[in-house]
Amino acid sequence: MEQLTTLDAGFLHAEDSDPHVSLAIGAIAVLAGPMPDFASLASDLAERFLSVPRFRQVLRTHTFDLGAPEWIDDADVDVFHHIRRAALPRPGDDAALYRWAAEVMERRLDRDRPLWECWIVDGLAHNRWAMLMKIHHCIADGVAATHLLTQLCDGRQTSATTLRAAPAPAPRSPGLRMPGVSALSLNPIDWMTSAWRTSRGVTSAASQALQGAVEIAGGLLRPAAASSLTGPVTDLRRYASVEVSLPDVNRICERFDVTVNDVALAAITDSFRTILMRRGEEPRRTSLRTLVPVSVRSRDAADKPDNRVSVMLPYLPVDKADPIQQLNSVHARLTKTKASGQREAGNIFVAAANAIPFPLTAWAVRTLTRLPQRGIVTLATNVPGPRKRLRLKGREVVRLLPIPPLALQLRTGIAILSYADHLAFGIIGDYDAAPDVNELADGIERAVSRLADLSNGHWRSTPAGTLALVQGG
């Protein structure tokens, strides 16, 4: 029996606080056809799911949140209830797949059962089929969920039996232990010596974390520029996705000395700028403060189903029109944000919360997530995916598309996932407040294409902030 960590349980509390949100994360694997026999496929998948403890467990909660929720084995689990089948209406194109996926993801998972669903989808165009994996965010973050999805595929090296249960969190206790001191030591000299050794090493880190905490708090309290990008949401969703060439992105990185994440966020910046202008709104410097989760998962914890993330809250430069200025500004702001200690502050806060009595943290999370917030405008989470192509029942996974959750009064969320030679952007939006998610996806594709052209020297930026074609380039 394992307790949820404070962060894992926080996703349950955030969902409880808003009846319009479902805090499940998902991924769509599109496979080359024909689809295998459903009964045989379901049987194989069931065996792999049952090998993972978390997928045969249910949550047990406590009255008045007197204790953290616990994972307990469900002796009556019916794994075939969780493996479901659907068929797309003709023509079975991307639009039909995305509409169906949005409808699946907007529905909450039943907390009386294990918190996952696996959908097998037939009827896709071009002799293809798909699998949608839906998992509650309290089980895993994007990195762990992607690891699980790869383990469901063919190959002994990706057997689901290797997915370990996360270790139980340390018991909540009012006591503290000084690093480097034996738990049994009562000698005050030992404590003084350890404190002296420790203080020199942690002073700088603590100062950086404090600065980061101040910036995170300020970001949450300072409202972004007023726009249609934030506000109440309904319980209906739209979904769109776009894929860009990873070799093109890598070439952009080499040319401009930036990271893949910089390029992805710059493309998102340019697309949001276009969306705001189409809506008749002025893109301002403070229009797009973005929640950027940062994984703090070590390599040896890649196969543990839980959440291990911190956060950064940079403003994306939608006020800039020039793509190179956007890219350079994103890179500079992320570099500054990382140096500010926001990541360390978030990590320390999550770790410290595990030492606070659970009823207090549960009350705090429920209260904070019910309050209106205008500081954060959107979510952009980047998850490294499989570098090699996957196969399931001998069929090749030709596309892998991420689906982020929507909460905290955000009207859009974007997940970025690399797979083989592509970088996929999955965009979730409120059905009423974000009707232009397809335009947002198209804008991301255009922005990456434009940066790729610039990296080839085909275009140049002008002093007026526009682009000019280099003749003969």
Q: Highest mean pLDDT: which of 78-87, 136-145, 167-176, 363-372?
A: 78-87
Domain shared by 215 and 93, yes or no: no
Domain shared by 296 and 245, yes or no: yes
Q: Is residue 400 part of a domain?
A: no
Q: Is residue 390 part of a domain?
A: no
Question: Quick check: 21 and 405 in contact, CB under 8 A?
Answer: yes
Q: Is residue 332 part of a domain?
A: yes
Residues with a catalytic annotation lie at 137
Distance, in Å, from the CA atom of 43 to the CA atom of 150, rounded to the nearest integer, reads 18
Domain shared by 133 and 236, yes or no: no
Q: Is residue 153 part of a domain?
A: yes
Stretch 288-309: mean pLDDT:
75
pLDDT of residue 462: 61
Distance, in Å, from the CA atom of 97 to the CA atom of 77, rounded to the nearest integer, reads 29
Question: In the numeric block, which tokens belong to residue 467?
Answer: 């682009």
Q: List the domain range (segments joined by +) for residue 237.
A: 205-383+425-469
Stretch 123-138: mean pLDDT:
96
Residue 243, class by beta-carbon neighbours within 10 Å (0-12 exposed, 13-18 middle, 19+ buried)?
buried
Distance, in Å, from the CA atom of 300 to the CA atom of 323, rounded to the nearest integer, reads 38
Q: Highest mean pLDDT: which of 132-146, 166-180, 384-398?
A: 384-398
DSSP state of 3: E
pLDDT of residue 259: 96
Residue listed under structure tokens 């950086």? 208
Stretch 168-192: mean pLDDT:
45
Domain shared by 349 and 244, yes or no: yes
Helix and strand numbers, DSSP H then E, in the chain: 12, 17
Helix 342-353 and helix 323-340, axial crossing angle in degrees, nearest 10: 50
Query: Could you tell me the CA-to-CA distances from 199 to 188, 267, 342, 348, 443 in Å, in that order?
Result: 16, 43, 21, 16, 50
Encode burial over 403-423: b for 16+ CB neighbours within 10 A, e otherwise.
bbbbbbbbbbbbbbbbbbebb
Task: Give the domain-ending residue among 111, 132, 162.
Answer: 162
CATH of the domain at 102: 3.30.559.10
Total of domains in the chain? 2
Domain shared by 68 and 15, yes or no: yes
Question: In the numeric block, which tokens belong to residue 375?
Answer: 């500081």
pLDDT of residue 245: 98
pLDDT of residue 463: 63
Question: In the numeric block, which tokens belong to residue 402?
Answer: 């991420």
Helix (H) or strand (E) holding 242: strand 237-245
Domain shared by 111 and 23, yes or no: yes
Domain shared by 95 and 231, yes or no: no
Task: Give the domain-ending residue among 136, 162, 188.
Answer: 162
Domain shared by 141 and 37, yes or no: yes
Sign of CA dihedral 53, 55, 56, 58: positive
Domain shared by 371 and 236, yes or no: yes
Q: Is residue 97 part of a domain?
A: yes
Domain shared by 225 and 90, yes or no: no
pLDDT in tens, 221-276: 678 888 999 888 999 999 999 999 999 999 999 999 999 999 999 999 999 999 99
pLDDT of residue 461: 59
CATH of the domain at 219: 3.30.559
Residue listed under structure tokens 């059905």? 431
Domain shared by 137 and 246, yes or no: no
Domain shared by 156 and 211, yes or no: no
